[in-house]
Every structure is written in structure tokens, then in C-alpha cells.
Amino acid sequence: MNPLPTRNSQLALRRADYQSVPEMLDYAAHGETGITFYNVRGEILSALAWREVRERAQVTARRLIGAGFAVGDRILLTADTWPGFFDVFFGAQYAGLLPVPVSIPVGIGGKEAYLDQLRRQLAASGAVAAIGVDDLAGFLSDAAREFPDVRLQGGLAAIDALPEKPVDLRPLGPADLCYIQFSSGSTRHPHGVQITQSALMANLAGMTGPAGLDVVPGDRAVSWLPLYHDMGLIGFTMAPLSSQLSIDYLTPRDFARRPTQWLNLISRNRGTIAYSPSFGYDLATRRAANQLPTDLDLSSWRHAGIGGDMIRPDVLDRFAQTFERVGFDRKAFIPSYGMAEVCLAITFCPHGTGVRTDAIDRAVLAAEQRAVPATDPTDERRARRFVLCGEVLPGHRLEVRGTDGKVLSDRDVGRIFVKGPSVMPGYFDEPEATREVLSDDGWLDTGDLGYTLAGDVVVTGRAKDLIIVNGRNVWPQDIEWAIEARKVVKNGDSAAFSVDTVDGERVVVAVLARVSGEEARQALARDVAGAVREAIAVDCDVVLVPPTLGLPTTSSGKLSRARTKANYLAGLYAPKTEAA
Amino acid sequence: MLLRTAHQLTVENDGIVDTIALTGGTSRAHVIREICSHLEPYQVGEKPITGETVIAKDLTIDSLAIMDMVMELEDRFDVSIPMSVIAEIHTVDQLADTIQDLRAARG
């Protein structure tokens, strides 16, 4: 089997000038390009031209409409990288239904936590169907058991068993929603971002246009990013589709197993566009340190995007150093910034500049929230390097505001707000949560902190407590809850936060040690780390806090993670116990 | 299965592994020995790794290393463990049984 071609023989490249997803798939289906799926050895598993994606989706749509699903009904869908995902996702687009892509289980022993996540997502989305890879059919049925509204659940066979009826398609149109993106909010209280067709089209136009990746004929996308994440689904399904590009897919699991396979695919197929959070570049660099394939040629890679979490300049430096000898151009790096609430992207760095950093004085940043250039950028104790993330997309606005709501000048650090056609109308069925982040005049509070610098935005951290580990959003509440649920410590006795390290965020859990004796203390630390690892698949450092000291609370009596973190960094707590 | 009781044994002990082999479960003993060789660096104190050891909890192994280990075991024994099955594995015994069962199913 051969990979699908990079160029269409006849069809002219149209760059995201559509009004809806069905419209853009209809156009791409006139060409020969499409999706090729690879296994961990880099062998082709299957290939679907956009034409076939559309045909299969329309069959699925007629089955779903024939089964009586109503316009606007939600379908929960496990977003593993498999052809069935595209059948159901695009099938829903032609049937007037809204897909709700969700993640797959992570790690060993994670069943209960996963079922719990599915139940919360079913509740939050009000889904009436739950479909996944056959392997997860049992989990979906288990989770759906207490939801009488779920009328169809299981593997793809559940849909294939429905008769295909001669009904009219009901494609979603420009005024409709497109899908619901779970990526915001904690696992306990998930918020589903409403991705509208119009916001998606606006964001795709920005992304593929001159201020974004400036897609041209000959471009080819290569991705291992999970499709339950906006960077995977919008960045590496929707954006290539909107420009009729071919995509080569590796699953996230296979990427973790053989990171160099991602680079092999770029090399073999002359890929030009591939993205990853910093940790993916890190993983590839580490693995290649042992054996750099000699036949690797990364010279075709013109846009090496970075997004999804805080961008680590050191990681990217190491990647470039390792792969420059096989043709990688460090100027191909494109730092970008965004969030699911704006579909995906809101700023891109200009082409050909690579990673630009600003070294600022740590002490002034902490004390005065100002980004003052460091006197000696190489002094890591005093200087901290942040990556410039580029300018806001055309038609959009970005402001950095102080606590009084006033727009700050360059180099003053405040909250980042954005506005424009890519911004969501709100979270699904969550008016209160929506009001917290979206103003009446359409400004979105990103919850991120940063500053502007001659048009560029520089992200320095998050105002919220959210922790991002290897590109995954983890809410501290979920970590604390996992510890409490396993009865390791009682409610209110733990506080989770993250600290920045050169290699990324490190999760720290502070727990009140209501035990005495070194053995008992060590056992407690181990139990806490074990509970977190099993429930969330995240590794953490555990610090034991004497009950006499207690954990800091806010004036209203709520746990203050920010102050716990500050105390920890100030060395107020016992020396940290390496529990992992 | 005869060796379901293997969790009562200290599997890191080669002498006992040999005993297991003698009682007819060569490949299972082999699987367990392989798992233990991956896990030994993460042992806590003097507490031996047994079939009942809960991998993510009783040891100091982190989640990335667990994933690496599962992948290496998959390569080593030429099986692919479905993610739904991985999600239900907690102990060394369960991991060994899973690999055994997949090998048996393959014939």
C-alpha cells in the first residue's frame, strides 16, 4: 500500500474559505489526497482519501438519521486515531448531530478513573449515544448504564448494525455548532467548549492563511497528536482538510513508544507541517540520542510548530542541535499560542524567525509583575527566558490587562484577554462557567498571564491553578480528590500545584502528615504518590506538612494552592520527599 | 490454572522461579521473571516484589517507566495488550496472566 499523494492532480488548492465542515469535505472529496494511518513500525495500516472519508461519513449519517436521532443530539466518541473516528465524526456533521470527542484510558490500572470520566462527560454533554473503538465497547456500555437517555452504545458495530435508510442528509450549516470540545474545566466538573462552524471556519482561515502557516500546494501534514485535543483535531484534521492536504497519522501511544517514527514519516513522505508540545520534541531528542537513523532527512519540514503548553526554549535548542545534522532547520520552529475557547490558535510567530526569547529579571517579575530585560541573560538564577509567541491573528484582538481591568503597556504582566470571530459562544449548558470567562462584549479571559512586546505576546504562566503535564491539562482538584477518594488522607488535607523546572512542570502535592515515625511518613508519601499515579497517571513529589503548621487558606476558608506553593518554594515545609 | 497461586511466592528468588518452572509453568515463570527484572530497580526497601505487588502503587516506578515496561514486554513476548485490558491490570500476577493468555490465544 502506498501513502496518499501530497498533491491533487486536478483540484485547485482552496484555503479554508468555507462556511461549514460538510462544505469543506465536499470540496476535498474531489481530489486524491487524504489520510494515511501508520503502525508503530511505520507500516501503512490503511488509507482513506477524503473522497472515501466523505462516502463513509454519509453512509454513517444515513444510518444515524434512519435510527431516529434528532438534529442537535450529541454523540460521545472515543477519539483514538482510527478510521472509525472519522466515520462517526464526519457522519455526525452530515446528520446534523454533534460529536463529543473524548480521550482514551491512560496507563495501567486506570479503569475506574476512566469510567468516572466517561460518566461525567456523558452527564455534561447530555449525549444520547456513546461510540468507541471495539476495545472500549465494554467500558462505554458500563459507563452508559446509568444514563437512560443513551440509546446506542458500543463499538463501531453498533452503528454498522443500523440499517442505512434512503433519507435526506441534514448537513450542519454555517449557523450551527460543529462539535463539543472537552478540554477545559476539571475532570470532576468538565466544561465542554462549544465549537461553532463559524468560529472554526474563522480560525482555520487564520491558521492556514499568511499570518498563520501560509499553506501552499505541496504541503503535507504529519501528526501523532491525540484527536481528543484541539491541537490534534482542529490543527491536524480540520486544518489540513480545509486546504485539501494529505495527513500521515501515528497514534499518540505509538509515538510515545517510538518517537523517531514521527520523524521517519516526515522524512519519508516529505512532510512539511508537524506540531507538538515541547515535551514531544524532548521525547524525540532523548530517544534519538541513542540512535539517530542515518537515512533521516528533515529538510522538507518547513513548519515545526510548538503549542499546547508553556514553550521550553532549552528543549527546542536541544532538538535543533540533535537534528540539524539531518537537515532540520531551526528557523522552521513556529511558537504559537491558543486554547480550545478560541477553537485552537490565536497567535503565530512569523515565518523564518525560529524561536525568539526574551530574558527577563526573575526578581522584578515576581515582585512587581514587570518583565524587565535581565542585565545578564546567561545568569539563570537572575534571568528567565520566555518565548515570544507571535502576533494575534488578523481580525482578532489581544489585550493584557491589570487587576483593575485597564490595558497594560508593553512589559507589564497581566491577564491575557482575546476577542474575535474564533472565540466560542460559551461552554455547553454552563451559563455560569461561561459568564466567568466571557464578557458581554465578547472578550475572553484566557486565564493566562503574560505581557506584550512590540506586537508579540509572551506567556509567562497561568492565573488559574491549572497544571499542564506533558500537554495534558490536570486540575489540582482532581489530584486532591484522587488522594481523598482512596482515603489516603482526609478532605482538605492535601494541596496540589506545579512548579516549573527546566524539563517542564513538576507536580507537587503537599499533605498534612498526621502520622509519626519515619517509616509511617515514608509510607504516607508513597501512598499519596501511588494514588495519584493510579488515578491520574501523573507522577508527583510529595511534601509532608506538619499538622501544627496546616495548609494555608483564603480569607473565605478555602484552600489556597497559590500560598501553599509560595510556602513550598520559600522552603517553609520539610525537605521534599522524592516519592517517585 | 495451577500457578494462580504464584503470588504467594517470592518471584525474584531464582530458586523459587526454578521451582515454578518444574511444576509445569515454564512460560509463566519466564514472564514473571521478565516483569520482575523490569521492576527490581523500583523496589521499596527490603519488601520483596511478589505476584500481589500493585505495580503503580507499591513500587517507586513512575507512569512513563510503566508504559515503557509494558511496551518492552509486548515486544519481548510479541503480544499487543489492548488498552481496555491495561486499564484493568494492577498487580504483577495480572500482568503476567494477561501476557500468558494473549500468547495462548495466539496459539
A437: pLDDT strictly greater than 70: yes
Chain B residues touching A256 at Cβ < 8 A: 67
Rounded-to-integer distance, Cα A106 and Cα A51, Å: 33
Q: Which of A257, A288, A314 is the last residue of a domain?
A: A257
| Contact (Cβ atoms closer than 8 angstroms) between residue B6 and residue B20 | yes
Among residues A391, A388, A447, A390, which one has the least CA distance to residue A417? A447
DSSP conformation class of A40: T
In this prediction, residue B52 has a pLDDT band, given cuts at 50, 70 and 90, of very high
Reported for B35-42, long-range contacts at CB under 8 A and 24+ positions apart, including other chains, are: B35/B69, B35/B73, B35/B92, B35/B95, B35/B96, B36/B11, B36/B12, B36/B92, B38/B69, B38/B72, B38/B73, B39/B69, B39/B92, B40/B12
Q: What is the pLDDT of residue A576?
A: 45
Rounded-to-integer distance, Cα A531 and Cα B90, Å: 12
Q: What is the CATH number of the domain that holds A219?
A: 3.40.50.12780
Q: Give pLDDT tens digits for A501-548.
A: 877 789 999 999 888 888 889 889 999 999 898 888 888 999 999 888
Task: State which residues form the domain around A183.
Answer: 21-257
* Cβ–Cβ below 8 Å for B83 and A526: no
Mean pLDDT, rounded, of chain A: 92
Task: State which residues form the domain around B46.
Answer: 2-106
Percent helix, strand, coil in chain A, to 5, is 35, 25, 40
Chain B residues touching A138 at Cβ < 8 A: 84
Number of domains forming the structure of chain A: 3
Mean pLDDT, rounded, of chain B: 75
Domain-embedded: residue A332: no
Q: How far is A487 from chain B (nearest CA, A)?
A: 14
The C-alpha cell at A240 is 489540513
In this prediction, residue B17 has a pLDDT band, given cuts at 50, 70 and 90, of very low
Judged by a CB distance cut-off of 8 A, whether residue B16 touches chain A is: no
In this prediction, residue A556 has a pLDDT band, given cuts at 50, 70 and 90, of low
Query: Based on the domain organization, do A379 and A483 belong to the same domain?
Result: no
* Cβ–Cβ below 8 Å for A139 and B84: yes
* Cβ–Cβ below 8 Å for B87 and A108: yes
Q: How far is B61 from chain A (nearest CA, A)?
A: 7
Query: Based on the domain organization, do A477 and A420 belong to the same domain?
Result: no
* ipTM of predicted complex: 0.71
Q: What is the CATH number of the domain that holds B66?
A: 1.10.1200.10
Among residues A496, A492, A474, which one has the least CA distance to residue A541? A496
Among residues A6, A83, A2, which one has the least CA distance to residue A273? A6
Query: Based on the domain organization, do A153 and A227 belong to the same domain?
Result: yes
pTM of the model: 0.85
Judged by a CB distance cut-off of 8 A, whether residue A143 touches chain B is: no
Query: Based on the domain organization, do A34 and A178 belong to the same domain?
Result: yes
Judged by a CB distance cut-off of 8 A, whether residue A138 touches chain B is: yes
Strand-pair partners of A541: A508
Q: What is the CATH number of the domain that holds A367?
A: 2.30.38.10
* DSSP 3-state of A497: strand
Rounded-to-integer distance, Cα B51 and Cα A511, Å: 30
Nearest CA in chain A to B91: A109
Number of domains forming the structure of chain B: 1
Query: Based on the domain organization, do A418 and A505 belong to the same domain?
Result: no
* Cβ–Cβ below 8 Å for B54 and A530: yes
DSSP conformation class of A191: E
B20: pLDDT strictly greater than 80: no
Q: Which of A428, A462, A496 is the last residue of a domain?
A: A462
* Residues ≥6 apart with Cβ < 8 Å to A210: none
Chain B residues touching A257 at Cβ < 8 A: 71
